[in-house]
Chains A and B, each alone.
Chain A
Amino acid sequence: MTGIDSDQPKRILIIDDEEMIRESLSMILELNGYRVDSTGEGLAAIEMIRTTAYSLLLLDLNMPGFSGIEVLRELNRIRCRVPIVVFTGFGSPASEQTCTKLGASAFLGKPVPIPELLERVRKLTSSA
């Protein structure tokens, strides 16, 4: 099962301030049939989400400037319904609780095992 379940590949946005993570994850997801955009800035991500129909967002939590939590708050405010997978190297029960409350569909700790990530992405994009 890949990202090409219909005529169009599912489109995913990666939001992470680490360039190499954006680059490597993009390649992995593209290898699995998804179309991928990425950005390292929370505010830029909000703008991209406003103008592009994404099937899924992969969101890092700890970013300088506009953090992942702030992105979630803003997406909540604009009533964005795109599934969001939060992935972070700095997770805690409290931050997971906050993210879930703000509408995150999944909360994964870095390093995320690729099979697990791909399975989550597949499930969430097929229900999108």
Chain B
Amino acid sequence: MEWALLKSIYDASPDAITYIDQSGRIVLFNRAAEILTGYSTEEIRMIPMVELYPNADDFGRIRKQVESEGKCIGIETNIQNRSGELIPISLSVAVVLDENQTVIGTVGISRDLRAIRDLRNQIRDLETVATRMTLASQTAHEINNPLEIIKNYVYLIESGTADPLTLERIGIIRRELVRIAGIVRSLTGMAVQPVLPHDAIDVRSFVNEYRDLVIPWLISRGIDLIVRIPESLSTLHSSVEHLRQVFLNLTLYIIRAMPESGVFEIRVEVDKDDLIFCFRGGCEESTDDPHPIRTTHPAPESQQEIDLSISYGLVGNLGGALTVSAHSSGGSELRIRVPLGKGE
């Protein structure tokens, strides 16, 4: 029964499972491992394991850790598949002992992180575009304010003079101001968000999908995820794509604040006509203050500020607000408040 259960898990696992004996021979190599590496079980037996690792140091480091500690969990490294593609994986390895507690081999479980890597790249691209848009808007905003001041003083000068030459010169200034205002409008147009769709979002399904997406990533970093959702929830009418981007961005923000391990909690609350997603994360040693959210003036400086700056804009486009605070137990607390909205 026990063996049948293990065999089912071994065969059905989406993660690559390998078992190597003490002589270095690959004994077990499941279907997922064949798909991941591009080698069949027969072929992989002809290849030394170290050759799968383009960085031999990584292989040595993992082996050393397994020899000294008996296991390693969630190590991020790369392997090279049959066609030469570098595949990011999260690797966990443990020694296998016989009844005399003698090491007889090692079992390894590798999770393909390509989807996560692609997601990271996608977020980075989105961040780049969004940051450029944000900077263009900030620039435009900064120009609009002095334009407003110049235009007001031109009006005041005009009101106090009847001199034809002065009035003619004021006319020139006014005309040029209109030109500058047109250029600024083009700049702000780069940052104007389209009116967003109002998708009917089942909040529980949305959060669960998000959890399934990020959990391998969090586990590989030793971060525990706790999700708290109230029993009854109204449907949220908002842009599901926008909300997903905010969730991923803020997850990055939280993870950057938790370099070692810790607990990341997502809580959903309803407050009258609003829905609140509360992200809280931190580790015991964390003493970092949350970065203030910048709205207009200076450009964001660090990656964390960029994450927040973009999220602030995205949440604003959803008609909501994002607030950041330091939590008394350490770490940061981010609260996304979005209107529940109505279906169209």
What is A's interface to B at a CB cutoff of 8 Å? 18, 20-21, 24-25, 27-28, 31, 62-64, 67, 69-70, 88-95, 97-98, 101, 109-114
Contacts and interface: CB of A to CB of B under 8 A. Distances in A.
Contacts of A113: 151
A52 to B, nearest CB: 24
A16 B185 CA distance: 21
A98 B140 contact: no
A24 B149 contact: yes
B319 A31 contact: no
Q: Do most interface residues of chain B lie in helix, strand or loop, or is the interface mixed?
A: helix
B156 A28 contact: yes
B336 to A, nearest CB: 15
B188 interface: yes
A20 B145 CA distance: 9
Interface in B291-344: 295-297, 316-317, 319, 321
B151 A114 contact: yes
A98 B147 CA distance: 25
Given A28-B155, A98-B319, A101-B319, A89 B148 contact: yes
Given A90-B141, A94-B196, A95-B316, A21 B148 contact: yes
Nearest to B194: A93
B137 interface: yes
Interface in B24-65: none
B177 A111 contact: yes
B205 interface: no
Nearest to A18: B145
Given A111-B151, A114-B155, A94 B191 contact: no
B122 interface: no
Give the contact-size bracket for chain B: 20 to 34
Contacts of A89: 140-145, 148, 188
A24 B157 CA distance: 11
B145 A69 contact: no
Nearest to B181: A111
A93 B193 CA distance: 8
Contact of B148 (A27, A67, A92, A112): A112
A98 B321 CA distance: 11
B117 to A, nearest CB: 32
Name the residue among A63, A89, A98, A112 with the largest chain B CB count within 10 angstroms.
A89
A97 B153 contact: no
B149 A21 contact: yes
A111 B156 contact: no
20 contacts: A21-B149, A27-B152, A62-B141, A64-B295, A64-B297, A69-B321, A88-B141, A89-B143, A89-B148, A90-B144, A92-B192, A92-B193, A93-B194, A93-B195, A94-B195, A109-B144, A111-B177, A111-B181, A112-B148, A114-B155
B101 interface: no
